[in-house]
Amino acid sequence: MATATREAFGDALVREGADPKHVVLDGDLMKSNFTYLFKEKYPDRFIEVGIAESNMVGVAAGLALSGKVAWASSFACFLAGRLETVRMSVGYNEANVRLAGTHAGIGIGDDGASQMALEDVAAMRALPNMSVVQPSDGVETERAVEYLAVHDGPVFLRLTRQKLDDVNPPDYRFEFGKVVQLRQGSDVCLMASGATVQEAVKAATTLEGEGISAAVVNVHTLKPLDVDGVVAAAEQGGGRVITVEDHNVVGGLGSAVAEALAQAGSSARLDILGCHDFGQSGSPEELYDAYGISAEHVAEAARVAVARS
């Protein structure tokens, strides 16, 4: 089955809504990010702020400072665009706000560059107190939302517009701050997060047919990063790591993994696949191919890495 993580988020939020501490804020995108489901069930705890994301973030902080868990949802690019308010009102205040950024990355397709958050992880990762979580499929999104309902501190939750293949089992358990080894492999380790996890899984299957043993690691928590898990996976993967992300190559998954490996004194060789430019209109498949983050590009990077040494 394939599920858009924005939709799984909307479903999960309704379930968590049974606890009256949860309040949801919308900036006129409830149908796009599926928070309308929460509105239907709990209209009193749904606040429509209009197209005013800075205010939405600040109001969410005020709710959180008064004991609520405030879920402020918009496109990821618009939340990261309000970094100044996120920084002060949410981050510095250690407010229990969940910034749910949907429509992340070039995977949104047709809408084009203006709606494609490709710098949001870098921005959010740089804020003290802020955690960054990016689920890779429907079940992981649901489990992540359940966890975030009780987590203490500010969180940026990065979600997709497009449907993603199931990569996790139905009985999946979400463990905040830990990588998930989806597949064992000894020649190369493919690390991915969010929408690119399915690409890594497909690449590993292709590589297996060619006699290359590829591990796949799902880094759902980009911050705090599971440094030990990343370093161990890199070693088990033959000291060759490929990261792939629907985000700029600066400041996202690849950067986080590079920081971890370098500071741990790892000798692993790292190749970072991701976006180098603004996005553009097209189908998600076309764009993943054009920007070098599709399964075939991941497989090719792995072949090159294995051939290199």
Alpha carbon distances (Å) from 235 to 186, 191, 210, 222, 261: 9, 13, 21, 20, 10
Least distance from another protein to the Cβ atom of residue 62, Å: 2
Write out the H or E segment, with its range, that includes residue 225: none
Give all strands (DSSP E) within the chain, no chain letters: 2-4, 22-26, 46-48, 69-75, 97-102, 131-133, 155-158, 163-165, 180-183, 188-192, 214-218, 221-223, 240-248, 269-275
- Tell me which of 7, 16, 48, 53 is the catalytic residue: 53
Instruction: Output 68 or 143, the one with its CB closest to another protein.
Output: 68
- Note whether 6 and 34 are within 8 A (CB): yes
Q: Is the dihedral of CA 233, 236, 239, 241 positive or negative?
A: negative
Least distance from another protein to the Cβ atom of residue 148, Å: 19
3-state secondary structure 91-129: HHCCCCEEEEEECECHHHCCCCHHHCECCHHHHHHCCCC
Question: Is 53 one of the catalytic residues?
Answer: yes
Instruction: Output 98 or 183, the one with its CB closest to another protein.
Output: 98
Instruction: Output 87 or 103, the one with its CB closest to another protein.
Output: 87
Residues forming contacts to another protein in the complex (CB under 8 A) are 20, 23, 44-45, 47, 49-50, 52, 54-55, 57-68, 70, 84-85, 87-89, 92-94
Task: Classify strands 240-248 and 269-275 as parallel, antiparallel or unpaired.
Answer: parallel
Q: Dihedral, CA atoms, 69, 38, 136, 193, nearest 10 degrees? A: -40
Instruction: Output 72 or 272, the one with its CB closest to another protein.
Output: 72
> Residue written as tokens 């309902």?
149
Least distance from another protein to the Cβ atom of residue 261, Å: 33
Least distance from another protein to the Cβ atom of residue 239, Å: 42
Residue 183's DSSP bridge partners are: 216
Least distance from another protein to the Cβ atom of residue 82, Å: 9
- Judged by DSSP in three states, 300 sits in helix
Least distance from another protein to the Cβ atom of residue 47, Å: 6
Instruction: Output 65 or 232, the one with its CB closest to another protein.
Output: 65
Instruction: Output 99 or 189, the one with its CB closest to another protein.
Output: 99
> Residue written as tokens 């709990």?
42
Which one, of 272, 19, 309, 235, lies nearest residue 145 by Cα? 19
Tell me the catalytic residues: 53
